[in-house]
Structure 1
C-alpha cells in the first residue's frame, strides 16, 4: 500500500485507485492459507486475496514488485521494531548491574583465576565489569539493528527495471527505514548475520554473568544466590535444594543463540542474485533469536536485581588460604626492603604454600621466616585487603559517567 501511494504521488496510479486500495484492503489468514494450497507461494497467495478484497482497483497492488521487495522490506520493519525492544532490555540489564556495582563497590571478596584463589577484589568491581560489557552489547545491538533496518524495491535482480529508485526512496522514507545501496533480488544477508552475531554476543555476555552466579552459588562457595521464591521447590526428591535454575537456563539458551548465529553466517553466500535456501532457516532463527534474547535479558535483570549477596561469606572465603592470597604484596614488600627478587620469591612461595597446606596463618610463617633478618617489612600493610581497592575509584568514576 505504501508503494501504491507513492506511485499515485508520482502520477503512475490514479489517486482514487490508490485510495480504494488503502481503504478496502483486507485479508484473513484462513483465506490466504486456502489460496496458498493452489499457488504454493505465500506472497502470491497473499496478493491474490488482498487484491480480490479491493476490487478492480486491486490490479495496482504489487505493481512492479517482486516478492522479496515486499518480504525483505517488511522484515526490515519487524527487525527495527524488535531492535527497539531488545536495546531497551539490554539497557535495563546494564543499569541494574550499575546500581548493584555501586552498592558493593567496597565489599571485599576473593578474586579467582583458573578457578583458584588469586587476590582480593571487590564484588562491586566484578559487577562493574559485567556492566561495561553489557554497555558494549547495547552498542553492538544498536549498530547491528540499524544496519539491518534496510529495505529494497529494486525488482527481480536489483536493476529497478519496473520501479524507479525515486519510488523506492519515497517508500522507505515513509516507512522509516533505509535503502539498500546495491541489492540483488534480496537485501544482502550479511546484514542479518550481523544482527544474529550481535544477539549471540549479547547472549554470551548474559551467559558469562549467569556462569559467575552459578559458580558463586556452589555450596562450598555460597557468596551469591539467585532469587528463590517463597514456596519454590528445588528438587522433587531433596527438599533442601536451592538450585540456580534461572542462570542455568540463561546458559543453555546462549548456546542456542550461537547456533542461530552460525546459521545466519551460512545464509550469506547465496547463489547469484539469490536463491531461497536462507528463507527456511530465517523463519526459525530470526524470530527465535530475538525472542530468546529478550527472554534471557528479562531473566538476567531479575537475577541482578534480586540476587542475595552473602557479604559475611565473602569475608570468610578471603581467609580460606590462610593469607596466601597476599603473596604478591609480600613479595613486593621484600623486594622493596632490599631482598633480591628470586630470594624473596622463594621465601614467599615456600611459606605461602605451607600456610595453605598446614592451615597455618601465612602472616605468622612469614614473620618467623623474617625473624633473623634486619629487613624492615610492615606485615600489617601486607595483609590489608583494603589495599587492593586503592585504585578502584578510577573504575567507578568511569561507571558513574556511564550511569549519567
Structure 2
C-alpha cells in the first residue's frame, strides 16, 4: 500500500487507459513473450535437426507463464549480472532444467527484446483498431441523426454560411477514417517486418555455425520462427536490432491520430463555449469547485491534452532512429521503454474519451436556432439581391440599399446589444416591396445548408460502411467507456 501512495504513478496507467492496453506492455506479458520466443526458437531448431530433447521442449512449454516468485529471482540475477535477458535465461532454466543448456541457442538479446517489441506493437494496434471503428460508428449515427439540423458554420472564427450539425460531425468522421486507414496500413506492414533470427550483427553467423554452413537451414529457421510468432515474413536484412525506422512509422500513425483528437476536442469545446453542443455531463458531476453552475468540457479538454502529448511522440521516435550508429547502439533502449508504451497508452486513453463523448453529446437546438436568427438576416442578403435582380432591378443599386441597412442593423446588434432587425428594416423600405412576400422562403435556414444532409448520407453509406465491414463482430459488443476520473 505504501508503494502505491508514496511512489510516482504514471497517470496514463493510474487514470486514463484500459487494463487490456496496460497488460500488453506489462512486465508479465513481456517476460511471457520472451519465453514463448525461446520456445519457438527451440522447436524450430529441433525441427531442423539440432539435438534438443522432447523433455526440454516439454519443460519450456510448461513454464511459458512466469510465476510471481520468478520475478524476484530474475531481479536478483539481473542486479548481479547487469543484464536483463541473461537474468531471465537463468530464471527460465531453473524452471526448465532439461532445457537450461539450449535456451537462447545461437541468439542475441535482441532476438527476444526486439521480436517481443514487434509483437507488442502488433497486439496494441489490434486493440486500438476496433475501438477506433466503434468511435466512427457512433459519430456516424450522430451525424445521421442531425444531418439536416441547420447551424452556423464558422470560417476564420466568424459566422459563415450555414452547415448542419451532422455535416460538421462528418468532418471529424472523415479525419478519423484516415486515422483508421493509417493504423491499418501500419499494422499490415508490420506483419512483414519481423526481426526473426539474425544474430549479433545481423549476419546470422552464429546460426550458420550451428548448422554447419547450411544456408538453407538458417533461412528456414528464420521462416519457422517467424511463422510460429504469427508474422507473415521477416525482414531480409537487419542489424542487431530491427530498424528503428519501424518505430518511426508506427508512432507517426499514432501521432497523426493524436492531432485528430486535439482537433475534434477543440471543435467541441468551442461549440460548448457557444452553448450549441455539450459533452455528456453526469447528474452528480461538478464543473467547478467555486462556480456551481458551470459545465466545463473536461472530457474534451483532457482529449486535447492527451492528443497534444500523443502527436509529440513522433519527434522522440525520429530522433532515436536517426541517432543509431552502424549495427546498433544502446542509446535507444531507455527512451523506447518510455516512448513505445506511452504512445499506445496515450492513444488508448484518447479512444476511451472519444467513445465516452460520442456516446452522449447534447445538442442544444434552441441555442443553435437563436444563433442562426441573429446572423441569418445578413446571410440572406445575397438571396434577396438575386430575387430583386430577377425582377429587373439593378444589382448594384440593390447591393447599396442592403449595405446601408446591414450596417445600421449591425450597429444595433454590436453597440446596443439588441436583436438583429435587418429584416424589419428591409420590410420597411418601399424599395424592397417586390420581394417582401418571398422573404419567408428567402430566409428559410434549410435553403442555406446546400447538400449537407446528402453529403452525410453518402459518407456514411459508402466510405464508413466499407471501412467498418471488417470490424462487424467487434462492433456488436461496443460498450460505453467508463472514465476513471
When normalised by structure 1's length, the TM-score is 0.91
Matched, 1:189 2:232: no
Matched, 1:214 2:275: no
For the 8 Å contact 1:214–1:244, the answer to whether it is kept is yes
Q: Partner of 2:331 in structure 1?
A: 277
Deviations 1:187-246 (A, max 9, x none): 11121111111111112212212111111111xx21111111111111222221211111
Deviations 1:350-381 (A, max 9, x none): 44343222244333445567817989995444
For the 8 Å contact 1:185–1:273, the answer to whether it is kept is yes
Please give the alpha-carbon distance, in whole angstroms, between the structure 1 residues aligned to 2:157 and 2:361. 22
Matched, 1:258 2:300: no
Matched, 1:156 2:230: no
Q: Partner of 2:375 in structure 1?
A: 321
Please give the alpha-carbon distance, in whole angstroms, between the structure 2 residues aligned to 1:331 and 1:46. 81
CA RMSD of aligned residues (A): 2.5
Deviations 1:243-287 (A, max 9, x none): 111110111111111221211111211111111222211111111
Residues 261/340 of structure 1: CA separation in 2 closer, same or farther (3 Å cut): farther
Residues 349/201 of structure 1: CA separation in 2 closer, same or farther (3 Å cut): farther
Q: Partner of 1:22 in structure 2?
A: 61
Q: How does 1:367-382 map to 2 (within 5 A)?
A: 371=431, 379-382=439-442
Work out the number of aligned pairs and report it: 402
Q: Partner of 1:71 in structure 2?
A: 113
Deviations 1:103-162 (A, max 9, x none): 101111111111111111100111111112111111111112333343212111211212
Residues 300/30 of structure 1: CA separation in 2 closer, same or farther (3 Å cut): same
132-141 or 146-155, which moves further after superposition? 146-155
Offset, 1:180: 1.7
3-state SS of 1:110 partner = strand
Bigger RCO (CA 8 Å, 6+ sep): 2
For the 8 Å contact 2:376–2:443, the answer to whether it is kept is no
For the 8 Å contact 1:96–1:304, the answer to whether it is kept is yes
* Structure 2 alignment gaps of length 5 or more: 1-38, 208-217, 414-419, 466-485
Residues 5/325 of structure 1: CA separation in 2 closer, same or farther (3 Å cut): same
* Structure 1 alignment gaps of length 5 or more: none
360-369 or 387-396, which moves further after superposition? 360-369
Please give the alpha-carbon distance, in whole angstroms, between the structure 2 residues aligned to 1:289 and 1:261. 9
Q: Partner of 1:354 in structure 2?
A: 408
Matched, 1:6 2:44: yes
Offset, 1:165: 2.4
Q: Partner of 2:178 in structure 1?
A: 136
Residues 316/59 of structure 1: CA separation in 2 closer, same or farther (3 Å cut): same
Deviations 1:167-196 (A, max 9, x none): 111111111123123211111112111111
Matched, 1:42 2:84: yes
Please give the alpha-carbon distance, in whole angstroms, between the structure 1 residues aligned to 2:145 and 2:276. 15
